[in-house]
Structures are given as C-alpha cells and as structure tokens.
C-alpha cells in the first residue's frame, strides 16, 4: 500500500443515478486537497458534466493508490474481487441497507475520509476464495469470491447429492439444497441465513454450511483456510456454482469443484476506532431491547 495517497478512484453503484451528487461533491473535495481524482467509467455514465478522468476498473487497478466505493455491500463485493489482484486498498461509503463492508456514513463521509487521508485509519486484510470446476480431469471454469462459493440447485424441486472431501479425506455425502463455502467476511451473508456461525474477519478459517440438509445431524463446520475442499456432484438436475451471487456456472453430473484460499487478499481501510462488534450490534439490531 502506498501512503500518503495521491491518486484516488471513485466508484459508485452501477445504474444508481442517486449517487451523482454525493460522488461529485466528494470528487471536488478531494481535488481541492490537491489529489488526483479518477472516476470509474461505468459510474461516470450517470454523472453530470465533469472534468475528471474516466477509467475502466482494469485501468484503475494500475493507476491509483486508493479506491473509494460508494454503494452497498454488493457493490463492494464486485469491486473488491477485481481490484484485489492489483492490491488497491478500498474504503466503503454506505448507500445500501446493511453496510458490513461499506462502513462510512454518507452524511459525514468527507470528515471521515479527510482523517483517513491524514493517516488515521485501520488496515484490514480479508480472505478471498478461488474455485475451479474439473470435468473429466480438465478444468472447465474458475472464479474468485469474496463472500462465498455456493453449489446449489436452481429452479428445481429435487435435492442434489454431493460428496465433500477436505485435504483428500472423506468428510460426508450429503443430500441437500446445496452447500456454502464461506470466508469470515461472508459469514454474515448467505452463510448466516443458512444457520452458519458468525466469524470474526481476522480469523484464518473457512466455513462449510449445508443448505437445508436432509438430516438433522448435519451441522456447519469450520476448517483452516489452507484446506483444499473438494465437492463431487453425485446427482444433479439443474445445479449451479455461484460466486458471491454475481457470476455462476452450470454444473454437470460427476463434476468436481475444488475450493481453496486465493493467494491475494482484499485490503479494507476503516476509520480509527472502527469496531467489528459495534458493526454487528448496529446491523443485526443487537442493541435493541425487547
């Protein structure tokens, strides 16, 4: 990470014209501080006339020291998967509903970002997942995920059947609606909805959470992040492999999905005093009394 930050990218939620005003105000604020500002070209489609350089995400990855993402967690997930390969640190401004990843409030973002530009921030490295689909011994698809990789049935009433191995050792055969392999970041997303535990993002682990398993004895399991996870499809109808609910691939009978930790990480910056437990209390309404 290069600090102090000089070249900053602004990226907004795609097809969200309501970010126009706040994003341009932030751009003017940063420019007034003598910083070079570039704007994601898809975001720029919804902006009024402006004088800032427009770049694609690929260009941004090699040109900036910091990216500020304005939107919700879904926006951050998409940007993080791309910019993590270039090791660009990310700051999130929340315009969504939950905001586990985009933790700066819109109404005081300029003050928060000003403090971070002065070096008052916390750096956090988050795990990424990598998954490959092997068919007849040949890799036919691969992808990355920040939250989770999910094997699931799609538009069918039949359960799927699959086998799971960890580091080559047989774990179980399962009949279920699917299986979630989640990072600690994703533990507050789909995995939590399916009954998985909440994992602190600093933990170096992964979790496997079955989706509606056809047995009461099956439970989520947490394993070390260096584990090699293999999911073998034994019975399938309409079944997919999904990455963070953004991209998907249709699976076939006898496909093998190999899930591992990706060598790159996502670098998130938070304001000084940021607390993950405070975020949980606020977003999950744990601070409310009955």
Please state the three-class secondary structure of 54-66 as a single string: EECHHHHHHHCCE
pLDDT of 290 over the 70 cut: no
Q: What is the pLDDT of residue 107?
A: 87
> How many C-beta neighbours within 10 Å does residue 222 have?
16
Q: What is the pLDDT of residue 282?
A: 87
pLDDT of 168 over the 80 cut: yes
Q: What is the pLDDT of residue 256?
A: 97
Q: What is the pLDDT of residue 221?
A: 97
Q: How far is 84 from 162, CA to CA, in rounded Å?
A: 31
Nearest partner of 257 among 172, 166, 134, judged by Cα: 134
111 tagged catalytic: no
Q: Which residue in the list 28, 40, 65, 73 is annotated as catalytic? A: 73
Say which DSSP state 79 is in.
H
pLDDT of 283 over the 90 cut: no
Above pLDDT 70, what percent of the chain?
A: 98
pLDDT of 16 over the 90 cut: no
Above pLDDT 90, what percent of the chain?
A: 77
pLDDT of 157 over the 80 cut: no
pLDDT of 167 over the 90 cut: yes
pLDDT-derived band of residue 2, with 50, 70 and 90 as boundaries? confident
Residue range 185-213, pLDDT digits in tens: 999 999 999 999 999 999 999 999 999 99
pLDDT of 237 over the 90 cut: no
Domains in the chain with CATH codes: 7-127+265-283 (3.40.50.10330), 129-261 (2.60.200.30)
């Amino acid at each position: 990470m290069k600090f102090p930050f000089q070249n900053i990218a602004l990226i907004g939620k795609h097809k969200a014209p309501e970010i126009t005003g706040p994003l341009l105000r932030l751009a003017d604020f940063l420019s007034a501080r003598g910083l070079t500002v570039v704007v994601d070209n898809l975001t720029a489609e919804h902006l009024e006339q402006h004088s800032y350089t427009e770049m694609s995400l690929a260009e941004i990855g090699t040109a900036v020291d910091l990216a500020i993402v304005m939107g919700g967690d879904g926006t951050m997930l998409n940007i993080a998967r791309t910019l993590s390969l270039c090791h660009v640190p990310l700051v999130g401004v929340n315009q969504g509903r939950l905001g586990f990843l985009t933790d700066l409030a819109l109404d005081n973002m300029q003050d928060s970002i000003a403090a971070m530009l002065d070096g008052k921030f916390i750096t956090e490295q988050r795990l990424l997942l990598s998954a490959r689909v092997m068919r007849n011994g040949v890799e036919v698809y691969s992808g990355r995920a920040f939250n989770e990789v999910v094997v699931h049935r799609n538009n069918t009433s039949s359960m799927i059947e699959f086998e799971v191995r960890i580091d080559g050792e047989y774990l179980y055969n399962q009949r279920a609606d699917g299986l979630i392999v989640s990072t600690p970041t994703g533990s507050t997303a789909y995995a939590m909805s399916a009954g998985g535990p909440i994992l602190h993002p600093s933990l170096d682990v992964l979790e496997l959470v079955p989706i509606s398993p056809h047995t009461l004895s099956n439970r989520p399991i947490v394993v070390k992040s260096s584990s090699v996870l293999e999911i073998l499809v034994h019975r399938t109808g309409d079944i997919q492999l999904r990455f963070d609910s953004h991209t998907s691939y249709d699976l076939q009978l006898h496909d093998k999905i190999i899930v591992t930790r990706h060598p790159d990480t996502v670098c998130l910056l938070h304001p000084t005093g940021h607390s993950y437990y405070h975020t949980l209390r606020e977003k999950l309404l744990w601070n409310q009394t009955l």
